[in-house]
């Protein structure tokens, strides 16, 4: 199994702050082409960028990202739920 971290909440957080993709990229010091790639799921944020995004938006990991287990043979995916949500169910 492969584990992927996807920036599924990034677009909503960016739009909530009224930022364009270009403005967010500038604030983070990254290429402006990287933000649409993250939002579309074409790219995955590394640990440093995940930390920078959480700090920039004052957000929890779960607000911005989801963790997905991917079977490399079948491409089947399973989204991992945060611990406190798993216990509540």
pLDDT tops 50 at residue 88: no
Please state the rounded mean pLDDT for residues 48-53. Answer: 96
pLDDT tops 60 at residue 37: yes
Q: How is domain 2-88 classified at the architecture level of CATH?
A: Orthogonal Bundle (1.10)
Spell out the domain ranges in the chain. 2-88
pLDDT tops 50 at residue 89: no
Please state the rounded mean pLDDT for residues 67-85. Answer: 86
Please report, to the nearest 10 degrees, the dihedral formed by the alpha carbons of residues 27, 32, 35, 36 taken in order: 150
Percent of the chain with pLDDT over 70: 92
Residue 89 DSSP one-character state: -
- pLDDT for 1 equals 86
How many other CB atoms are there within 10 angstroms of residue 25's CB atom? 18
Please state the rounded mean pLDDT for residues 35-47. Answer: 95
The pTM (predicted TM-score) of the whole model is 0.85
pLDDT tops 80 at residue 44: yes
Can you spell out the DSSP letters for 8-69?
TTHHHHHHHTT--HHHHHHHHTS-TTHHHHHHHTSS---HHHHHHHHHHHT--HHHH-EEEE
């Amino acid at each position: 199994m492969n584990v992927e971290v996807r920036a599924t909440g990034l677009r909503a957080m960016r739009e909530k702050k009224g930022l364009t993709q270009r403005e967010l990229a500038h604030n983070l010091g990254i290429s402006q082409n990287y933000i649409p790639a993250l939002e579309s799921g074409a790219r995955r944020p590394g640990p440093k960028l995940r930390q920078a995004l959480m700090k920039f938006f004052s957000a929890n990991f779960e607000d911005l990202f989801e963790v997905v287990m991917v079977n490399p043979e079948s491409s089947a995916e399973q989204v991992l739920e945060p611990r406190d949500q798993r216990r509540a169910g």
